[in-house]
Amino acid sequence: MFEIAPAYRAEKHNTSRHLNEYISLDVEMGFIKGQEDVMQLEARLLQHIIKTVSEKCAHELNLLGATLPVLPHEVPAWKLSEVHEILFENHLCEADHRGEDDLAPEEERAICKYALDTYGSDFVFVTHFPSEHRAFYAMDDPEDPTLTLSFDLLMRGLEITSGGQRIHKEQDYRDKMIKRGMNPDNFRFYLDTFKNGMPPHGGFAIGLERITACFLGINNVKECSMFPRDINRVAP
């Protein structure tokens, strides 16, 4: 199942990589064995996108001086903690980010350069983000419930995707909501979906403007939107 539709950012932002309103490419996949199935699906989708753009937009790419990214058959994938260690051990970042619950912008840039230099890939999957910093519907890792079966996909130093495996059992949702101080009764409309059973599933979302910026080497995502909206500019 997929959807291409406007999405709205409900968080503070004032950067060259964020928009108030953007076009989201959303994909959800049922009957998965794990988040790896979702990651493989996204890799195949991006391979198709890159191939199609190279065939149909060669003239435009030449005019813009743009080089399409390299996506190998096997995309490098590391856990968040492993990325911190790789960058620290190879002295690729000025600061020591080990133990942090997310990637710093300099880490995103550094791990992408490391993946390109070492594996010939413009893409990197980063997995197993802390549970407390991911959405309530992200499935916790059975081997370590403090982490989630979730991922970000980075391209050329920028995150273009968040995704992963979702919770598919009603009681698991209730347990996680209560643990977070949420009232499950306020989410009855959502939990009813899982009351009679739901297959293991997962998905991801790609920001269209952000991936376009990465493809074309544009530094400000606002330049990839006809009518960019941010915290200081809502009307066209």
Please give the structure tokens belonging to residue 36. Answer: 């790896």
**CATH architecture classification, 2-224:** 2-Layer Sandwich (3.30)
Measured between its terminal Cα atoms, the distance across the chain in Å is 31
Which residue do the tokens 């959405």 mark?
135
**Overall residue count recorded for the chain in this entry:** 236
pLDDT digit string, tens, across residues 103-130: 999 999 999 999 999 999 999 999 999 9
The crossing angle, in degrees rounded to 10, of helices 105-119 and 80-89 is 80
> pTM of the entire structure?
0.93
What is residue 229's predicted lDDT score, i.e. its pLDDT?
A: 85
Compute the CA torsion angle 50, 55, 61, 62 (nearest 10 deg).
140
Boundaries of every domain in the chain:
2-224
pLDDT band at 102 (very low <50, low <70, confident <90, very high): very high
Cβ pair 158, 17 in contact under 8 A:
yes
The CA-based diameter of the chain, rounded to the nearest angstrom, is 56
